[in-house]
Structure 1
Amino acid sequence: MAGTVNRVILVGRLGKDPEIKYTPSGMALATFSLATDESRKDSEGNRQQITEWHNIVLWGKQAEIAGEFLRKGKLIYVEGRLQTRSWDDAQSGEKRYRTEVQGNRFVMLGSRAEQGESPESPRASTAQPTRTSPDQPLEEEEDLPF
């Protein structure tokens, strides 16, 4: 199907430190939750803060950098694509689903003092986007307007 787009851009705070695992071939895998907030007015006109939680997955060098520098509460920018996995639950036999953002780039935001970093710590992941499937071409990185 030509003309479709699967691209996600989020700015939010980590809900927990990244969990780092390695595949049998030795490739790093980082998973963490990211919270985004939205403010809405309810039916009575009162402001309500709505938090949405997103499951983020990073691979390779991106995952290693995330494991080293990302911590719970840090503000980050992440971009990638949505992917839904399915499996059969071993206990109940039910089909389970999990939608994740397969991240291909992230940037740590906020001041260095807020981030708790030393001046020489990197703020943006310098690793090239990792190809997560052979049929997905790597895109040239675009300049962001901010």
Structure 2
Amino acid sequence: MSINVVTLVGRVGGDPDIKYFESGTVKCQLTLAVNRRSRNNDKPDWFNLELWGKTAEVAGNYVRKGSLIGVKGSLKFDSWSDRQTGTLRSSPVINVEQLELLGSKRDGDGGMSDMSPDNF
């Protein structure tokens, strides 16, 4: 049995980077800062998020830098060859399947929750 499920709650590090493809597909990239549970750690862990389709559109319309969100998805690794050295590089990315906007209206998030594409 294999399980690849990642659940994170944190604050968005910058405004969404939205790309529209000729095929009609939409892709959104975000960074997410997540604090660890330990008391003596003041620096958050940063995660790269990738959202597609309706979920990407929702993020583009409602998520902004500083928004409190929850995400559920899977971990993948993007790989590429460094242009200068030819060295194989990789970066972990969370492929988001479900997005929840957790902030209040006062935070500018609209207070909406469970923004999975199934709800549209």
Confirm or deny a common fold (TM above 0.5): yes
Larger C-alpha radius of gyration, 1 or 2?
A: 1
> Which structure is higher in RCO with an 8 Å CA cutoff and minimum separation 6?
2
Shift of 1:33: 0.3
Check 1:108–1:49 CA distance in 2 against 1; reply closer, same or farther (3 A cut).
same
Tell me how far apart the structure 2 counterparts of residues 124 and 40 of structure 1 sit (CA, whole Å).
28
- Answer yes or no: is the 8 Å Cα contact 1:40–1:50 preserved in 2: no
The answer to whether the aligner puts 1:19 opposite 2:17 as a matched pair is yes
Q: Given residue 56 of structure 2, which amino acid in structure 1 is its aligned partner?
A: A
Which blocks of at least 5 consecutive residues in structure 2 are unaligned? none
The answer to whether the aligner puts 1:128 opposite 2:115 as a matched pair is no
Shift of 1:96: 1.1
Normalised by the length of structure 1, the TM-score is 0.74
Which blocks of at least 5 consecutive residues in structure 1 are unaligned? 42-46, 130-146
Secondary structure of the 2:44 match is strand
Superposed CA RMSD in Å reads 2.0
User: Segments of 4+ in structure 1 off by > 6 A?
Assistant: none
- Answer yes or no: is the 8 Å Cα contact 1:39–1:49 preserved in 2: no
Shift of 1:112: 1.2
Residue of structure 2 aligned with 1:52, choices 29, 45, 51: 45
Which deviates more, 25-34 or 87-96? Answer: 87-96
Tell me how far apart the structure 2 counterparts of residues 92 and 24 of structure 1 sit (CA, whole Å).
32
Q: Count residues with an aligned counterpart.
A: 119
Secondary structure of the 1:67 match is helix
